[in-house]
Chains A and B, each alone.
Chain A
Amino acid sequence: MFQDIIIVLAIMILGLGIGLFIGNRPKIIKIVGALTSFSIFLLLFLLGIGVGTNDKIINNLPTIGIQALILSFGAVLGSLICAWFTYKFFFQTKKVD
């Protein structure tokens, strides 16, 4: 699995290098954008099929949904608290100078 992750990251970095090299060419950027959407659609379609044929997931969908919701709350609340500290100490402008 470690190998797969390295491959995926290497492929992304390769793309990044090519992207920097290509630069600002609206036509290519448009095509890349369309292909990106297409591959996201394809992957989520495949994920949908995988989930639909996976009895373990289908039978536990309510549990999975609640777990996801709890994780969302955790992530959002944690981010809010950290951002509040950052705002208080670094961003908030003092009213009286």
Chain B
Amino acid sequence: MKGSLIILSFFVLGLILGLTQFLPNSLLEGDFSIYALYLLMFLVGIGIGTDRDSWKVIKEVNIKIILVPLSVIVGSLIGVSAVSVLLSNINFGEAMAVGAGFGYYSLSSVIITEFHSETLGVIALISNIIREILTLLATPLFVKYFGKLAGIASGGATAMDTTMPIIVQYSGKEYAIIAVFSGIVLTILVPIIVPLILQFV
């Protein structure tokens, strides 16, 4: 949660500087955010590659566990598509790009900003933060009505870190490994699925 607050404070700082117009034009007109995104994706790749523990987790699990992140992917995409009919200015594809953030708000929002628009990027940022907060607050309720995979499903990519403690608390220690596995798979898939969806928008 501390990490989320730091990330948010950078966004808010930028927001305030933007609102007060207290910035040199060169910063506003230079489009170097795409290069920052290239750097980020390169680093994310290295991070995944060097993470031996993650690879070990992925290798050791049985076939059944793959169904968990798969449920999150299918459920999220169907869910956002369904509610997108309520939203007049967001189409199926745009809703799916936001849903495919699976709670990984920092990466999904910058990818969507770069490849689609700032407006949808902000929607992805807020929506995926809400997903994390909702998981932190409502996991006890979710587990009660939707079974022991509920917290993992709701948490999405965050089930491996920020929402893991609450998941373990309400589903049991035996679900920790499933939470980590599902979170890792979804975290790896966000930078792949989001751009792919945006390509069809």
Contacts and interface: CB of A to CB of B under 8 A. Distances in A.
Interface of A: 1-2, 4-5, 7-9, 11-25, 28-29, 32-33, 35-36, 39-54, 56-58, 60, 64-65, 67-88, 90-92
A80 B75 contact: yes
13 contacts: A5-B115, A9-B191, A48-B16, A49-B14, A70-B87, A71-B80, A71-B84, A71-B87, A71-B90, A76-B79, A78-B75, A80-B153, A87-B146
Contact of B71 (A22, A41, A72, A82): A82
Contacts of B148: 87, 91-92
Given A45-B11, A80-B146, A74 B84 contact: yes
Contacts of B187: none
Contacts of B81: 74
Interface of B: 6-8, 10-21, 23, 27-28, 33-34, 36-52, 64, 67-68, 71-72, 74-84, 86-87, 90, 95, 98-99, 102, 106-107, 109-111, 113-115, 118-119, 121-128, 130-131, 134-135, 142, 145-150, 152-154, 156, 191-192, 195-196, 198-199
A54 B68 CA distance: 39
Contact of A71 (B43, B98, B195): B98
Contacts of B109: 44, 47
Contacts of B51: 19, 29
A15 B86 CA distance: 40
B50 A5 contact: no
Contacts of B74: 78, 82
B41 A15 contact: yes
- B-side interface mostly: helix
A88 to B, nearest CB: 7
B99 A74 contact: yes
A71 to B, nearest CB: 5
A87 B158 CA distance: 19
B43 A39 contact: yes
A15 B101 CA distance: 21
B11 A47 contact: yes
B90 A52 contact: no
B26 to A, nearest CB: 12
Given A8-B41, A46-B36, A52 B18 contact: yes
A49 B7 contact: no
A3 B27 CA distance: 25
A32, A44, A73, most chain B CB atoms within 10 A: A44
